Structure 1
Amino acid sequence: MFHHDRGCHSKVGFSGQMEGSHHLHHCGNVSYNISGSSCCNGTITLGLSQLVADCCGSVAYNPLNEICCKGRILTQSSTHVKCCGKDMYLTATHLCCGGNNIFQRKENHSCCGKETYDKTTHCCCANPTLEVKPKHETCCSKTTDKNKECQQGSPPNSTLPKNSELKCGTKPFNPQEKMCCSGNLYKASALTKCCGVDSYTLSDDNVLCCNGILYRNVSEQSECVGGVIYTPANTTCQMSTRPRLGEHCCGGQTINHRTHICCNEHSHNKMNGNFCCGSEVYDHHNQFLRCCSGHLYNLTHLHGKAECCGNLLLQYNNNQTCCSSSTNSIIYDTKPNHRCCGHYYYNTSLWSCCAERLKPTPKPNSSPEEYRLKPLTDLIPEMCNKTVFFGKVESVALENYQRHVVLKVVGLVDVKSEKVIKDPWLHVSLDHCSPPATDDGMTYLWEENHNGKYKLLSHPVDLTSDIHMFYFVCYQKKG
């Protein structure tokens, strides 16, 4: 199985929307978005996100369904295949000897250099090259464990600890020696910390990590508050004077929150809209504007027929599939016999999926139905006319492939009819494999169907900003 370091591409690392995927990266002298492209040895591969890809020379590939053998990208026939030179082989039925020769696996047979032998009648002697000899030969009694490794054709690093399999981007690293900061490797130490793509030590003077950005040459008294650097002694908002009473910081200026809104340190008049999308402001009543994880799109030319896939736009009838989890949303070219498992797109003949967990044990005709959660903002205003509520997961138990969830209702139920649940505690039963796993203590949007069943709808929500926006839009729509 392939590995991705949790700090490689995102500050939060597989929890929350990808921070790194919103920004352009550089591949040689060309800019690209890692949400939809990959960079390998200075060459860009379009249509495959670097978040789920590995490199095979200068070409990116999906290691979930493919394997790279000495520069050749091959479609996996099983999750238990490995490379033998430029070809792949099934480890359960074949042996790879000498790095390039594939043999049918037989009982009591093993490798000796480039050939196989029967261990019950022969041995593998190193004198000095590996040779098959009858068991009565003197050299057979001198076979060492090191010879046995060679006989089996084990790779030189097969005895390394699991930590050696960790990757920072596509670069392997040992976390005891190196640390990974959003794809960049630095020397590890107890005092070294990550700040976005940079690193710093706690003993560094005049540096401050604020909202994933490392600032240098700042005053020793500076503090990071709400993503803004403050210097209490003489400045606020990184300005030379304090704002007037009742005004707030917005980038390098002050604003009156009654008339203006601050979006990522950019000031906008509320007449142009009262919701932020990244650094822009928009009117949520405009059906041709769509905010996708901080990116504002105009859908006029698409007649509004598109949906968000993370910070990208998925156009309908474009033969593409969006796979999303609470960490990433990635667009793939649609392929037959492939399904989503969280943000991974897997071949159903190689894998099975249960609660967003991939297992290398395909189960014919038992793949769970497509079940894609969305950020809460992508469900507005569609959910305003449905019986929905915000439920906090208190505990989860598993029984007979059913996931039993105890929920505490923390939000008003059914904005349309203002229905209220008298008992704030709900016991919900879900098919275990179909919906993604739920985390204790996290709050989600749920829907109550006509038959009294409950369905999980959203990724974990923010109890303040997300829920406020949901109620604000839905009540305006109701009014």
Structure 2
Amino acid sequence: MHSFSHRCCSHHQYNFMNECCYWDVNGSPGTPKPKDSEFCPATSGIQDKKNAAQPHCTEPKTHLCGSHCYDPNKHRCCERKRASGQHDAALYDPDTHVCCDGHVKPGMGQCCGETQPGVFCCNKDREDGEECSDTSIPYNPAKGTICSSQFHGSPGQHCCGTEIYQPGNEICCDGHRYPKEGNVQCCGIKAYNMKDPKMKCCAGTLYNLTDPEYSRDVECCGSVLRNPQEQEVCCSSMDQAVLYSGKTGFSCCGHLYFNMSLWSCSAECLSPVQQPGQQEEKMTGCRLESVNNLNETALCGEIYIGIVQSVSPNSIVFNFVLKINGTNADVRPVPFHYVLATPSRCSTPKLILGKFYFFNDVSVFADFNHDTALQSLYFILDKCSP
């Protein structure tokens, strides 16, 4: 039996809601005991250490935090002593939260004021004329600019990583500065001419197609390149894209590559093939195509962008749809909603409600290079303009 309230006790299992794991002073293996028994000091009030049950973690390299065991390489223990003398404890991820006086709070900053003596508090201790930076460091904007804790004695500037930059003649790509030139856009930390056919951006990784190992018709598969002339298959979903060696009788189901004789795929979900005697339903592979792999005719011709409102086995409903013609730099709203028919249950992979996608009369495409619809729209109009 296993549930969220069950824990290991040596070779046994116990429910910490109504039991404790008792370890006697002789070091014998732990055994579950009723929580209201004399062996569980938290409820019996026994203070004699020789007779009290000692909490213990059975997994190697783990520590105790209250009644939970944890790996210190992944989590931390946040403890607080109450006025009654009892201790509260909770686990937290130091990459996303901080422990302040026994309270777990979101964020990766430091605790402030009396809750952690010796730690500087920007909002409380800043001087007149000072403001708090994004990293909670006080600074006077009339005297300089602070960029990710780095102070620059030049007021009124813009930040690019830890340095300042001039947005009038430079662009900033994830903390790296480059000269601002025509058609130059960011691809991760690098800048490139988006109209240069020798350069290709794949999910933040920039490739120079003049390298002999690449051909001009390569496609993006996540952050790597796929050569259509080779026997490779790219299976992709919104979460990831994986490149596989092509095999006969296999197909994509999202980012998974499956044997069609053993499995069937519907909306990126695999299920065993139907048994003999059951009604047969032909299923095809599913993968989420990248708009970055569309040729210029398909990308710069007529294409739509919209937000998924609902999905059924036979159609997809998009809201706030724009009809785009990149060649003419023409963008027009589509009245009401747009219903895209999908006769095959797997002609379209799993879509996330509320997210934007590109689509035409046949397929749906995701933009893995940009985070917002405005960035994607700008990319198409800029790339397709004469």
- TM value normalised by structure 2: 0.61
Relative contact order: is structure 1 or structure 2 higher (C-alpha 8 Å, sep ≥ 6)?
Answer: 1
Q: Work out which of the residue numbers 208, 232, 236 in structure 2 matches 1:320.
A: 232
Q: Does 1:345 align with 2:242?
A: no
User: In the TM superposition, what are the counterparts of 1:107-186 in structure 2 within 5 Å?
Assistant: 177=68, 185-186=74-75
Find 1:355's aligned residue among 267, 272, 282.
Answer: 267
Q: Which moved more, 1:268-277 or 1:368-377?
A: 368-377
Whether the 8 Å CA contact 2:322–2:333 is kept in 1: the answer is no
Please list the CA deviations of residues 388-444 of structure 1 after superposition, one character each: whole Å capped at 9, or x if unmatched: 011112233x3xx42x33222443433345474652422222133221122222211
Q: Using the alignment, how far apart are the partners of 2:74 and 2:331 within structure 1?
A: 54
1:419 & 1:356 partners in 2: Cα distance? Answer: 32
Q: 1:204, 1:305 → 2: CA distance?
A: 58
The answer for the alignment partner of 2:169 in structure 1 is 259
The corresponding residue for 2:193 is 283
Equivalent residue, structure 2, for 1:192: 92
The aligned runs of 1:295-334 (5 Å cut-off) are 295-300=205-210, 301=212, 302-334=214-246
Change (3 A) 1:377 1:249: farther
**Partner of 1:383 in structure 2?**
298
- Asked if 1:241 corresponds to 2:152, the answer is yes
Q: Aligned residue for 2:317?
A: 406
Contact 1:250 1:266 in 2 (8 A): yes
Q: In structure 2, how many angstroms separate the alpha carbons of the residues matched to 1:239 and 1:187?
A: 29
Query: Aligned residue for 2:54?
Result: none
Structure 2 gaps of 5+ residues are 1-66, 78-88, 110-117, 124-132
1:260, CA displacement in angstroms?
A: 0.5
Contact 1:384-1:416 within 8 A present in 2 as well: no
2:366 aligns with 458
Letter aligned with residue 201 of structure 1: V
Cα deviation, 1:41-93, whole Å, max 9, x if unaligned, reads xxxxxxxxxxxxxxxxxxxxxxxxxxxxxxxxxxxxxxxxxxxxxxxxxxxxx
Counterpart AA for 1:456 = V
Bigger mean CA offset, 319-328 vs 367-376: 367-376
Question: Tell me, what secondary structure is at the counterpart of 1:327?
Answer: coil
For 1:202, the equivalent position in structure 2 comes to 99
For 2:189 and 2:70, the matched residues in 1 are separated by 31
- The corresponding residue for 2:122 is 221
2-side partners of 1:177 and 1:361: how far apart? 42
1:442 paired with 2:355, answer yes
* CA distance in 2: counterparts of 1:363 and 1:299, whole angstroms: 48
Q: Tell me the CA shift for residue 269 of structure 1.
A: 0.5
SS of equivalent to 1:304? coil
**Percent identity (aligned):** 26
List gaps (5 residues or longer) in structure 1: 1-175, 211-216, 449-453
Query: Is the 8 Å Cα contact of residues 323 and 340 (structure 1) preserved in structure 2?
Result: yes
Contact 1:326–1:459 (CA under 8 A) maintained in structure 2: no
User: Closer, same or farther in 2 for the Cα pair 1:469/1:459, shift >3 Å?
Assistant: closer
Query: One-letter code of the match for 1:221?
Result: C
Shift of 1:251: 1.7
Offset at residue 329 of structure 1 (A): 0.5
Question: Is the CA contact 1:178–1:187 (under 8 Å) kept in the aligned structure 2?
Answer: no
Aligned residue in 1 for 2:287:
372
Q: Does the 8 A contact of 1:352 with 1:363 survive in 2?
A: no
Aligned-pair CA distance for 1:466: 2.2
RMSD: 3.6
**How many aligned positions are there?**
275
1:471 is matched with 381
What do residues 6-28 of structure 1 show as CA deviations (whole Å, max 9, x unaligned)? xxxxxxxxxxxxxxxxxxxxxxx
For residues 362 and 253 of structure 1, the distance between their equivalents in structure 2, rounded to whole angstroms, comes to: 60
Out of 328, 331, 339, the position equivalent to 1:427 is 339
Specify whether residues 405 and 303 from structure 1 end up closer, same or farther in structure 2 by C-alpha distance, changes over 3 A only.
closer
Q: Structure 2 vs 1, CA of residues 179 and 313 (structure 1 numbering), >3 Å: closer, same or farther?
A: farther
